[in-house]
Amino acid sequence: MTHAPHPAALDLDTITAKGWAERSDFPDAEYGRAVFFYAAMRAHDDRLHAVRAKAADLVREWTGHESRDVGSFGIGVNLEASDLDLGIGFPVAERERLMSVLADRTTFLGERYTSFSTTRLVFSFTVDGVETDLSALTVEDFEIACRMLDQIGGTMTEEERICHTWVKHLLRAAGRLDEYAAWKLVTYRRFCPEFNWVPIPEKADA
């Protein structure tokens, strides 16, 4: 016997296939739950802001470069268990020096493609119990990323952030981890399709 879907259920399959979540996708009761959940996530903002400031100070001290939050917290769609993701622009010719500088301070996670022709180096360190990833992009890619983040900040509505965060939460809670990993990247792809936003392996909490 086939059962009709619950009227308040969210159609995750349709939303993930579409690649974006909007208020019109949400029954009223479901959106109410999403709003409540999003407010709960924002309760962590003060602590994460403080940790991010400490992490940025360390990056500045180590590399001489100002960093920017390029992760889910930076665009306001993080979950409670999210780590932090910082990015810097760093000359490719000086990457060997950067590797040496960070060798005793961070864990090197590897080199990842950022676009079809460029890569970034990814490092990890912990501040006050919060894991922080640092991506050293090319100078040009970092400038593109900053423009993208500015556009997200000025264009993505709070309603869209609420919907996106709730879908991400539901996918993770349902154990749909491949879809969850892909969903984490849809905002970046929407605003910066030229980048190859590939998640770091075994990093599924952002």
7 pLDDT tier (thresholds 50, 70, 90): very low
Q: Is 123 exposed, middle or buried (0-12, 13-18, 19+ CB in 10 A)?
A: buried
Nearest-10 crossing angle of helices 28-42, 158-173: 90
d(C-alpha 146, C-alpha 195), whole Å:
13
Tokens of 63: 């590399």
Q: Which long-range contacts (CB under 8 A, 24 or more apart) does 123-132 make?
A: 125/55, 125/58, 127/51, 127/54, 127/55, 127/58, 127/84, 128/50, 128/51, 128/54, 130/48, 130/51, 130/55, 130/83, 130/84, 131/83, 131/84, 132/51, 132/52, 132/55, 132/83, 132/84, 132/85, 132/86
Predicted confidence (pLDDT) per residue in 93-144, tens digit: 999 999 999 999 999 999 998 887 899 999 999 999 999 999 999 999 999 9
Predicted confidence (pLDDT) per residue in 29-68, tens digit: 999 999 999 999 999 899 999 999 999 999 999 999 999 9
